[in-house]
Amino acid sequence: MSEAGEAVLQGQVALVTGASRGIGAAIARKLAGLGAFTVLCGRSRRHLEDTAASIRNGGGRCEIAECDVTDLGSVERVAANVDSAYERLDILVNNAGVGAFSAPLHRMPPESWEQVLNTNLRGVYYCIRAFAPTMIRARAGHIINISSLAGKNALPNGAAYAASKWGLNGLSYSVAEELRGHGIRVAVICPGSVNTELSPHTGKDASKMLQSDDVAHAVAMLVTQAPQSFASEILLRPTQKP
C-alpha cells in the first residue's frame, strides 16, 4: 500500500527486470506496495524468490519470470506469457544492468565490453521490442529506463558502462517521441552512485550515497503522474556528496 494507504496502482500489471536484488528489488517492492501485480524478472530464481517473499509478506502480489535480457528469445517468451495471462502491461521498468569499473578501455577484455553493452543497452531494446506492442494495443503505459549520471558525465575506468548509459539515454529520448502518440510515456532515471553491489564504493561514505529505495521512489513518482503530462528524465543526486 502507498504511504497514504491507497493502492493507486490496483489492477495494473508491472514488470521489473533485474528484480532479484538492489535497485530492481526495491522498485518491485514499491510497485507491489502501490497495488500493482508485479512480474519479477531476472536470471537467478533463488534471488528472485527473496524479492517475491518480501513482497508477499507485505501483502503484495507478484510472480517470478526467469529471464535473460541479453537473449531475445527469453524476453519474447516472457512477453508472450504476460500477454496471454494478463492481456496488459501497464509498467515496464528496464533496470537490469551490469558494471565494469576496474580498468581503462584499452585494457578491457572484449567479452567484458560485450557483457556490459548487451545487458545495459541491447537488453532494453529487446524488452521494448517485446513489450511495447501490448502497450500500443492498450494505448497506455509507462516505460522507465534506469540509467545513470555516468550517462551524463565522464567516468574514467568505466568507459563501457558510460557508453551503455549514454546510449540508453539517447534511446530513451527517441523512443519517448516514437511512443507518445500511442499514449505511452517513456522516462529515464539517472541516479548518481547508489549503495548497491554494482556501485564502486572506493572512498565513498555509503551512508551518504543514494539508496535503492530512493530510485524506487522516483519510479513511483513517474507512474502516478496525472495523465496529461509526463516527466521524461529524472537526475537523482544525494543531498550530500559521499
Cα 82 to Cα 133: distance, rounded to the nearest angstrom = 12
81's grid cell = 506469457
Cα 26 to Cα 169: distance, rounded to the nearest angstrom = 22
DSSP structural state of residue 210: B
Decide if 210 contacts 23 (C-beta within 8 A): no
Sign of the alpha-carbon dihedral angle for 54, 56, 60, 64: positive
Residue 125: active-site member: no
Q: In one letter, which amino acid is 31?
A: L
The dihedral over CA atoms of 220, 25, 57, 5, expressed in degrees to the nearest 10, equals -10
191's grid cell = 541516479
The two beta strands, 184-191 and 62-66, are unpaired
- Single out the catalytic residue among 86, 125, 161, 173: 161
Positions marked catalytic: 161
